[in-house]
Amino acid sequence: MTGSLFARLFRARLSRLAPILLAALVAASALTAQNQGAATAKAADVPSYKAGGTPIAIPPPASDLVATGEDDRPMMEVFVPDQNRLLAAFVLPGDLPRLKSGGDDILSKYSLVEVPRQGEFMDLSAKDFKDLADSVGQQFGALLDSSTKDVEEELNRRMKTLNLDDPKISFDKPVQLGSFFSKQDAFGLGMIMPVSSKGSTTTMVGGIILLRVKNRMLFAYLYATYKDQETVRWVRKTSEGWADAILAANKE
């Protein structure tokens, strides 16, 4: 199967992307203090994971999130759709003991990096990745080839239109926030979505990142409990910084 065929196959499955993103979420209750800094770990300190036999360095998305160890990582598999394979997971340090004990406490902030099982060992060209990003952007109302300032202004406009901080607003279905950023080998978008668990519903903000790293296709997800519009801005900024950090850590 060629990279172009993989690209066509993936585009054909985009209509199922939103349900997959929802299936990857876990209910959460409270947003912890948010750190605006993106990952800045030195290359030598960044853990490496194999995708299609290729080692890929994946730093944490923020300084307050830590990588789960190999023994703990399988506990995060419940958040991963069957068609993907989990490479790395990052959680708040205080959540690690609960994961190890098998507790069912909810996570307020976490991130995942996954690889598509069907295309894990396939090379993805820069053109194929751009085609994928364009297709996703068209479905999610992205601002393709826009500057960071344009994206920020559009995000602010959408949040104002949605009146997200109105206490009467109820998020009973996913709300697409459109593009967070679009650049070579990285494309990010955002969603706000309700997550129900044990009779209660929590609103989550999700940053979804498509990455081309060493010719491998990766999906990265960053989730935080929605507190106010600053949560959306934090997820957008941190998602972009994380994408930049992953690409920088794997420069050849």
**Residue of 19 and 44 predicted with greater confidence:** 44
3-state helix, strand, coil in the chain (%, to 5): 35, 30, 35
pLDDT band at 171 (very low <50, low <70, confident <90, very high): low
Mention every residue, 6+ apart, whose C-beta is less than 8 A from residue 104: none
Mean pLDDT of the chain: 75
Average pLDDT over residues 133-161: 61
d(CA 232, CA 45): 29
Distances 163 to 145, 167, 203, 228 between C-alpha atoms, Å: 27, 9, 15, 10
**pLDDT above 60: residue 168:** no
Task: Tell me what pLDDT residue 25 has.
Answer: 37
d(CA 25, CA 60): 18
pLDDT band at 201 (very low <50, low <70, confident <90, very high): confident
Query: For the purposes of burial, counting CB atoms within 10 Å of the CB of 210, is it exposed (0-12), middle (13-18) or buried (19 or more)?
Result: buried
Task: Tell me what pLDDT residue 195 has.
Answer: 72
pLDDT band at 203 (very low <50, low <70, confident <90, very high): confident
* Whether 93 contacts 66, CB under 8 Å: yes
Task: Annotate 162-200 with DSSP letters as a single string.
Answer: HTTT-TT----S-EEEEEEEEETTEEEEEEEEEEEETTE
Q: Cα–Cα–Cα angle for 60, 112, 217, nearest 5°? A: 100
What secondary structure letter does DSSP report for 108?
Answer: S
Task: Tell me what pLDDT residue 79 has.
Answer: 76
